[in-house]
């Protein structure tokens, strides 16, 4: 009688290696994109909070004749810093040019502290934040 050999055949091992290669080819890029996705979410949240602060600053100053300034916007953003129309909150920096009432323009929104200092948007059009 011939004894049954135990183990895997060469074709079974090759098939397993091919399947693992396909899974790795699909999973690795998805994993690497997680970092970029989290940075994009941080930028979006920072931009949204600055936009809300602009609207709140305009609403608070509507009763007065004073147009809200970058400092007024900073006052609505806990933990933000402001200098010469540049508002920094977390890792997002927003540069404002022009008056906020009747046509504020976002000059740029930049990720702070990034190794490349990449600007994520430049030259956004004007918007009227109060009447």
Does the pLDDT value for residue 16 go beyond 80? yes
**Domain segments of the chain as ranges:** 10-127
| pTM as predicted | 0.43
User: Which residue did the predictor score with more confidence, 108 or 78?
Assistant: 78
Model pLDDT for residues 36-58, shown as the tens digit of each residue: 788 777 777 777 777 677 667 66
Q: Is 111 helix (H, G, I), strand (E, B) or coil?
A: strand
Specify the pLDDT at position 22: 93
Task: Among 7-21, 22-36, 72-86, 113-127, name the one with the lowest average pLDDT.
Answer: 113-127
110: which DSSP letter?
E
What is the DSSP annotation of 19-73? HHHHHHHHHHHHHHHHHHHHHHHHHHHHHHHHHHHHHHHHHHTTTSSPPP-HHHH
Residue 34: pLDDT over 60: yes
Q: What pLDDT was estimated at residue 6?
A: 82
């Amino acid at each position: 009688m011939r004894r049954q050999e135990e183990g895997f055949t060469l074709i079974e091992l090759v098939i397993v290696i091919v399947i693992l290669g396909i899974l790795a080819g699909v999973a690795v890029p998805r994993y690497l994109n997680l970092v970029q996705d989290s940075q994009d979410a941080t930028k979006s949240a920072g931009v949204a909070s600055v936009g809300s602060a602009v609207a709140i600053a305009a609403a608070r100053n509507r009763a007065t004749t004073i147009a809200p300034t970058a400092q007024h916007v900073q006052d609505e953003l806990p933990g933000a810093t402001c200098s010469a129309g540049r508002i920094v909150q977390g890792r997002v920096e927003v540069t404002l040019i022009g008056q906020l009432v009747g046509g504020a323009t976002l000059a740029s929104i930049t990720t702070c502290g990034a190794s490349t200092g990449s600007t994520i948007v430049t030259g956004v059009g004007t918007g009227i934040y109060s009447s």
